[in-house]
Amino acid sequence: MEHLVSLKLIWTNISIQKANLKISAQKLAIQNTFKLYQDNDPKHTDLNVRLRLLYNCPKVIKTPPYSPDLNPIENVRHELTKRTRKHDISSKKQLKAVLTEE
Protein backbone atom coordinates (compact mmCIF):
# COMPACT_ATOMS: atom_id res chain seq x y z
CA MET A 1 0.00 0.00 0.00
CA GLU A 2 2.86 2.39 0.82
CA HIS A 3 4.26 1.89 -2.68
CA LEU A 4 0.92 2.86 -4.23
CA VAL A 5 0.82 6.04 -2.18
CA SER A 6 4.35 6.86 -3.34
CA LEU A 7 3.42 6.33 -6.97
CA LYS A 8 0.37 8.55 -6.58
CA LEU A 9 2.54 11.32 -5.06
CA ILE A 10 5.08 10.99 -7.86
CA TRP A 11 2.44 11.21 -10.60
CA THR A 12 0.72 14.08 -8.81
CA ASN A 13 4.07 15.90 -8.72
CA ILE A 14 4.60 15.29 -12.45
CA SER A 15 1.03 16.42 -13.25
CA ILE A 16 1.51 19.65 -11.31
CA GLN A 17 4.79 20.36 -13.08
CA LYS A 18 3.30 19.54 -16.46
CA ALA A 19 0.27 21.78 -15.94
CA ASN A 20 1.90 24.73 -14.21
CA LEU A 21 5.67 25.02 -14.46
CA LYS A 22 6.13 26.48 -17.95
CA ILE A 23 2.94 28.54 -17.84
CA SER A 24 3.86 30.14 -14.53
CA ALA A 25 7.40 30.86 -15.71
CA GLN A 26 6.05 32.50 -18.86
CA LYS A 27 3.53 34.61 -16.94
CA LEU A 28 6.33 35.83 -14.66
CA ALA A 29 8.65 36.37 -17.66
CA ILE A 30 11.33 34.18 -16.08
CA GLN A 31 11.15 31.16 -18.40
CA ASN A 32 14.83 31.45 -19.39
CA THR A 33 16.27 32.18 -15.96
CA PHE A 34 14.25 30.47 -13.24
CA LYS A 35 15.53 27.60 -11.13
CA LEU A 36 13.23 25.02 -9.58
CA TYR A 37 13.79 24.44 -5.88
CA GLN A 38 12.99 21.08 -4.35
CA ASP A 39 14.37 18.90 -1.62
CA ASN A 40 15.46 15.28 -2.00
CA ASP A 41 12.12 13.89 -0.94
CA PRO A 42 11.50 10.61 -2.81
CA LYS A 43 8.65 12.11 -4.85
CA HIS A 44 11.16 14.66 -6.20
CA THR A 45 14.00 12.20 -6.89
CA ASP A 46 12.04 9.52 -8.73
CA LEU A 47 13.54 8.73 -12.13
CA ASN A 48 10.39 9.83 -14.00
CA VAL A 49 10.38 13.18 -12.20
CA ARG A 50 14.11 13.72 -12.81
CA LEU A 51 13.75 12.88 -16.51
CA ARG A 52 10.82 15.26 -16.89
CA LEU A 53 12.81 18.02 -15.20
CA LEU A 54 15.91 17.29 -17.26
CA TYR A 55 14.04 18.22 -20.43
CA ASN A 56 11.69 20.86 -19.04
CA CYS A 57 13.63 22.55 -16.25
CA PRO A 58 17.36 21.82 -16.34
CA LYS A 59 18.16 24.20 -13.47
CA VAL A 60 17.11 22.46 -10.24
CA ILE A 61 18.29 23.45 -6.77
CA LYS A 62 18.38 20.52 -4.35
CA THR A 63 18.64 20.31 -0.57
CA PRO A 64 18.64 17.41 1.88
CA PRO A 65 15.23 15.87 2.62
CA TYR A 66 13.35 17.03 5.68
CA SER A 67 15.76 19.84 6.50
CA PRO A 68 13.63 22.83 7.52
CA ASP A 69 16.71 24.78 8.60
CA LEU A 70 18.06 24.48 5.08
CA ASN A 71 14.78 25.26 3.38
CA PRO A 72 15.11 28.78 1.98
CA ILE A 73 11.61 28.74 0.48
CA GLU A 74 10.03 28.50 3.92
CA ASN A 75 12.28 31.29 5.20
CA VAL A 76 11.50 33.51 2.22
CA ARG A 77 7.78 32.83 2.50
CA HIS A 78 7.80 33.74 6.19
CA GLU A 79 9.73 36.97 5.56
CA LEU A 80 7.54 37.94 2.59
CA THR A 81 4.36 37.32 4.60
CA LYS A 82 5.70 39.45 7.45
CA ARG A 83 6.59 42.33 5.13
CA THR A 84 3.35 42.10 3.15
CA ARG A 85 1.22 42.35 6.27
CA LYS A 86 2.69 45.81 6.96
CA HIS A 87 0.79 47.14 3.92
CA ASP A 88 -2.89 47.97 3.63
CA ILE A 89 -3.89 45.78 0.69
CA SER A 90 -7.41 45.83 -0.72
CA SER A 91 -7.03 44.41 -4.23
CA LYS A 92 -5.11 41.86 -6.26
CA LYS A 93 -3.38 44.69 -8.10
CA GLN A 94 -2.12 46.18 -4.83
CA LEU A 95 -1.00 42.76 -3.61
CA LYS A 96 0.95 42.19 -6.82
CA ALA A 97 2.60 45.61 -6.50
CA VAL A 98 3.57 44.98 -2.87
CA LEU A 99 4.94 41.52 -3.63
CA THR A 100 6.95 42.88 -6.54
CA GLU A 101 8.27 45.74 -4.41
CA GLU A 102 9.25 43.52 -1.49
Q: What is the pLDDT of residues 2-17, one digit of tens each?
A: 444 455 565 566 677 7
Task: Report the pLDDT averaged over residues 29-56.
Answer: 70
* Banded pLDDT at 40 (limits 50, 70, 90): low
Q: For 39-66, what is the mean pLDDT?
A: 68
Ramachandran class of 29: left when φ > 0, alpha when ψ lies in -120 to 50, beta otherwise: left
Residue 28 shares a structural domain with residue 14: yes
Q: 2, exposed or middle or buried, with CB in 10 Å at 0-12, 13-18, 19+?
A: exposed
Greatest mean pLDDT among 52-56, 61-65, 80-84 lies in: 80-84
49 and 92 fall within a common domain: no
pTM for this model (two decimals): 0.40
Rounded CA-CA distance 10/48 in Å is 8
Query: Which residues form the domain of 96?
Result: 71-101
Do 37 and 77 lie in a common domain?
no
